[in-house]
Amino acid sequence: MCGIVGYIGRKRAYPILLNGLKRLEYRGYDSAGVAVFENKEIISYKKQGKVSELEDMLADTKINSNIGIGHTRWATHGEPNDVNAHPHTSQNGIFTMIHNGIIENFERLKSKLATRGYSCNSETDTEVLVNLIEYIYTKGNISAELAVRLALSKVIGAYGIVVMCKNEPDKLIAARKGSPLVIGIGKNEYYIASDATPIVEYTKSVIYLDNDNLAIIKRNQLTLKTIDNTEFEPEIQKIDIGIDAIEKGGFDHFMLKEIFEQPQSIKDTFRGRIKSDFSDIRLGGLSDVFPKLVNAKRIIIIACGTSWHAGLVGEYLIEEFARIPVEVEYGSEFRYRNPVINSDDIVIAISQSGETADTLAAIEMARKNGATVIGICNVVGSSIPRETDAGVYTHAGPEIGVASTKAFTAQVTVLNMLAFLLGKKRGVISQERFEFLVKKLSEIPQKIEQVLKTNDQIKKIAELYKNSTNFLYLGRGVQFPVALEGALKLKEISYIHAEGYPAAEMKHGPIALIDENMPVVFIATKDKTYDKIVSNIQEIKARKGVVIAVVTEGDTAIKNLADHVIEIPDTEEALGHLLSVVPLQLLSYHIAVLRNCNVDQPRNLAKSVTVE
Ligand code: G6P
């Protein structure tokens, strides 16, 4: 995610900002920038690419200011380029701002501001907000602080912002809702950042802002307020953890951090897309092709790796809810076959990185044959979104662990939204059913919080089976791709051989492998094939296999049969994959850690496979 850094004090701000931006590089970013006060003006320098490129660009520039802000951007609105990079300055140059988060109603605010003579240079939601602040400030002839507060009261969404006002040059104004901000306290100086990594080398005394907090920061005075203007005393905390631990949010590995981020990343995926009364879903990036999608005779999903598993979930969902036939293809197979592609086909390419070579080649082939291609990608501005006709970004934030976790749940969240919406538009499901499903989807983040509480229990199970040489993962229906994903996660990071199978297919081969040394992981939640799965578990137990079952909470039948049960909350069958995949991610993580494997960078694997 984007990174924020700011400084106000007596030292030169620029080296502190630059150093801070480098500390924040681990978060993933595509452009960087700083803004400082120089000769009573705010001057911004920004550049697409690495912080080192910004540094090179400014190598011969004298920047003496001792107040400034800096930002590393990970694109959400508009592709990565110099113009979209932060900081952003208001139209008349009065305010400059950096921002993390997403302003959901930015389009509405943008059109309102347009009627008042404001236009934007960038495609960002941030520029809209800084223009709004300036508009309110100028119109009301009020203080910068009040303008920021009033502007934020009109914003729907998440933000962590730091604002500079040309007319009030001795202060920084910061505010938080959803996106974290930390203030570091020095002697007659303050630091501000999106996490403590850029701060710890200067001070250990910090204040974590809460949602709806505002900070007015001067060199020797810090005022904290709530958004409705009530002052409060800061709670100063001492940090005693190292930079490495802070980068990983206190977790031992990025993978674990990303697993635990899923309640938030899923929320970010549907943020601003699901209407608050659940009556509709808006996928803005698809509006141009939506009529074609609604009338599609066939959908072909193309992807690789974990994204291909998301595609299999998509097949189940789209066929179930929209009644459109779906085929799911590996990019690498599709491109070298001679597939039948028609001009009324819709091809959906799913990719975390947006750079996977086989998926890209398959897209090119589909487009040449006249199909309409839609991308579901995480990295904004990457190659796949540029090569497709339309698309939906997953907004899961940068994924650093090579084994994909939160990107998968974000991809299937998009597919859930798409399937529900198509189902409604095609008249397959009623408005009432649609609203029910959307409401259930909105409850998933909180249910994942509950699933994450099984972490310690899963660690104990991992202890017992860390030395196994084979694992089998079984599931049915929408849980079959989850079984494949569970097996892939284990293979990738622990180097244990694992296979995923549809539970009923087990008897056509894998059952021959079952003995007391073979752990079998069942996804056995309460859905329409539950009774069949119970029979499959019995078949394993009869052959002395070890059963680890992911079950719906309160299940007693499987508890009596299985060696271990991991309980997850009940939900709609069509959303079950979002919950059941989490214990499997945790199981593979703990086994890999116990085997001393390099969890975040497993051997022989790459995060983004840009070659065939
Ligand atoms: C690599 C990664 C996987 C990923 C796959 C597809 O193999 O290690 O985690 O699922 O590529 O990548 P994509 O970026 O297209 O989703």
Of the candidates 2, 120, 304, 377, the residue annotated as catalytic is 2
* Residue from 255, 302, 307, 611 to probe ligand 1 pocket by mutation (most atoms less than 8 Å from CB): 307
Burial class (CB in 10 A: 0-12, 13-18, 19+), 68: buried
The reported pLDDT for the residue numbered 386 is 87
Residue 132, CA atoms < 13 Å, CB-side half-sphere:
22
Which ligand 1 atom is nearest residue 379's CA?
A: 14
Q: How far is the CA of 458 from the centre of ligand 1 (A)?
A: 25
Average pLDDT, the chain: 94
pLDDT value for 187: 94
* Ligand 1 centroid – CA 502 distance (Å): 23
**Across residues 435-456, what is the average pLDDT?**
98
pLDDT, position 1: 64
Which ligand 1 atom lies nearest to the CA of residue 303? Answer: 15
How far is the centre of ligand 1, averaged over its atoms, from the C-alpha of 262 (Å)?
18
Each residue's pLDDT tens digit, 369-398: 999 999 999 988 788 998 999 999 999 988
Q: How confident is the model at residue 240 (pLDDT cuts 50, 70, 90)?
A: confident
pLDDT given at position 608: 79
pLDDT at 566 over 70: yes
Whether the predicted pLDDT of 498 surpasses 70? yes
Taking the alpha carbons at both ends of the chain, their separation in whole angstroms is 29
One-character DSSP codes across 208-256: EPPTTEEEEEETTEEEEEETTS-B-----EE--S-HHHHHTTT-SSHHH
pLDDT digits (tens, 9 = 90+) for 52-106: 999 999 999 999 999 999 999 988 888 899 999 999 999 999 999 999 988 989 9
Distance between CA atoms of 441 and 56, rounded to whole angstroms? 46
**pLDDT band at residue 179, thresholds of 50, 70 and 90?**
confident
Atom nearest to 359 CA in ligand 1: 15
Q: Is the pLDDT of residue 246 over 80?
A: no
Q: Is the pLDDT of residue 231 over 80?
A: yes
Arithmetic mean of pLDDT, 488-506? 96
Torsion of CA 385, 387, 388, 389, to 10 degrees: 110
Mean pLDDT of 147-175: 96
- pLDDT tens digit sequence for 299-350: 999 999 999 999 999 999 999 999 999 999 999 999 998 999 999 999 999 9
Q: Whose CA is nearest to atom 8 of ligand 1?
A: 607
* Pocket perturbation via mutation, ligand 1, pick of 332, 608, 610 by most ligand atoms within 8 A of CB: 608
- Give the largest CA-CA distance in the chain: 81
Mean pLDDT within 189-214: 93
Q: Going by CA atoms, what residue is nearest to atom 15 of ligand 1?
A: 351
Q: What is the predicted pLDDT for the residue at 604?
A: 87
Distance 304 CA to ligand 1 centre (A): 6
Which residue minimizes the CA distance to atom 2 of ligand 1? 607
2 is catalytic: yes
- CB distance 139 to 118 below 8 Å: no
Which numbered atom of ligand 1 lies nearest the CA of 402? 8
Please pick, among 154, 466, 526, 607, the residue that the annotation labels catalytic: 607
> From the CA of 274, how far away is ligand 1's center (Å)?
27
Q: Which atom of ligand 1 is nearest to the CA of 606?
A: 8
Predicted pLDDT of residue 609 = 82
- Residue 526 is a catalytic residue: no
* 12: nearest Cα among 77, 68, 84, 70: 68
pLDDT at 611 over 80: no
Cα 351 to ligand 1 centre (Å): 7
- Residue ranges around ligand 1 (CB below 6 Å): 304-307, 351-353, 356, 359, 402-404, 605, 607-609
Mean pLDDT of 357-377: 95
The ligand 1 atom at the shortest distance from the C-alpha of residue 307 is: 16
Report the separation in Å between the CA atom of 404 and the middle of ligand 1, taken as the mean of its atom positions: 7
Q: Tell which one of 313, 353, 358 to mutate to probe ligand 1, the residue whose CB is within 8 A of the most ligand atoms.
A: 353
**Alpha carbons 275 and 459: distance in angstroms, whole number:** 38
Q: Are 317 and 419 in contact (CB under 8 A)?
A: yes
Count Cβ atoms below 10 Å from residue 463 Cβ, excluding itself: 12
Neighbours of 127 (CB within 10 A): 29
Of 359, 405, 609, 612, the one to substitute when testing ligand 1's pocket (max ligand atoms within 8 A of C-beta) is 609
Ligand 1 nearest atom to the CA of residue 305, by list position: 10
* Tens digit of each residue's pLDDT (9 = 90 or more) over 91-142: 999 999 999 988 989 999 999 999 999 999 999 999 999 999 999 999 999 9
| Residue 121 Cα to ligand 1 middle (Å) | 34
